[in-house]
Chain A
Amino acid sequence: MDQNAQDRIRKMVTENQVMLFIKGTPDFPQCGFSAAVVDVLNDVGVPYAAFDVLSDPGIRQGIKDFANWPTIPQLYVKGEFVGGCDIVREMHASGELEPLLRGESA
């Protein structure tokens, strides 16, 4: 496992309350699932940091090891892995996502 990538990931997810790893950028997502999560976050309207895994193969593989989760996109809140596209959409639909993103829920 690439320790440097793990350290960089840990830094990103701890320094940003809401951290999103996607293929592409929020303005130009390169995959439907990444675009869907970007839409949800924009809909909620909280600030978030995003990292384009296509720009860094080390992070692209490292993030899968970090979360023990094989797909992209991946959403983190306060350093905790929240989930991929399915889970983010499910939480948004159930109303769980916004309090979590705003740091209001437990």
Chain B
Amino acid sequence: MSLRDEMERRIRARLPDARIELNDMTGGGDHWQAVIVSSTFEGQTTLLRQRAVFEALGELMHGPIHAFTVRTLTPAQAGRTE
């Protein structure tokens, strides 16, 4: 399973309805940019949303992933930005 698949699997396990976009910024697999859309984020601060994503990624954040920037949106917010 590639790192990308593993990241997606873990995020989806935590946020089952999530629409997940993962961009490998350098092609080296350690700098990622993500956009995650989930109704679970409704009513949550950005901090809580991002902490949930980092917790889902778990120890991937302590080795394979060096940098991970993420935009965490509710479906409504994502609808507006598209």
Residue ranges of A at the interface with B (Cβ–Cβ < 8 Å): 33, 68-71, 81-87, 90
- A68, B68: Cα distance in complex, Å: 15
Chain B contact patch, size range: 10 to 19
CA distance A65 to B16 in the complex (A): 26
Beyond the given A33-B67, A69-B54, A86-B70, please list 18 additional residue pairs across the A-B interface where CB-CB is below 8 A. A33-B69, A68-B51, A68-B55, A69-B51, A70-B54, A70-B57, A70-B62, A71-B61, A71-B67, A81-B47, A84-B50, A86-B46, A86-B50, A86-B69, A86-B71, A87-B47, A87-B50, A90-B46
- The 8 Å CB contact of A71, one of B47, B68, B71, is B68
Q: Which residues of B contact A33 (CB under 8 A)?
A: 67, 69
Which residues of B pack against A, CB within 8 Å?
A: 46-47, 50-51, 54-55, 57, 61-62, 67-71
In the bound complex, residues from chain B placing their C-beta under 8 Å from that of A83 are 46-47, 50
Quote the shortest CB–CB distance from A81 to chain B (angstroms).
7
The A/B interface has a contact count, at CB < 8 Å, of: 30
A34 to B55, CA, bound (A): 22
Nearest chain B residue, comparing its CB with the CB of A80: B47
With A70-B62, A71-B61 in contact, is A87–B54 under 8 Å at CB? Answer: no
Between A and B, 27 residue pairs with Cβ closer than 8 Å are A33-B67, A33-B69, A68-B51, A68-B55, A69-B51, A70-B54, A70-B57, A70-B62, A71-B54, A71-B61, A71-B67, A71-B68, A81-B47, A82-B47, A83-B46, A83-B47, A83-B50, A84-B50, A85-B69, A86-B46, A86-B50, A86-B69, A86-B70, A86-B71, A87-B46, A87-B47, A87-B50
Kindly report which residue of chain A lies nearest to residue B49, judged by CB atoms: A87
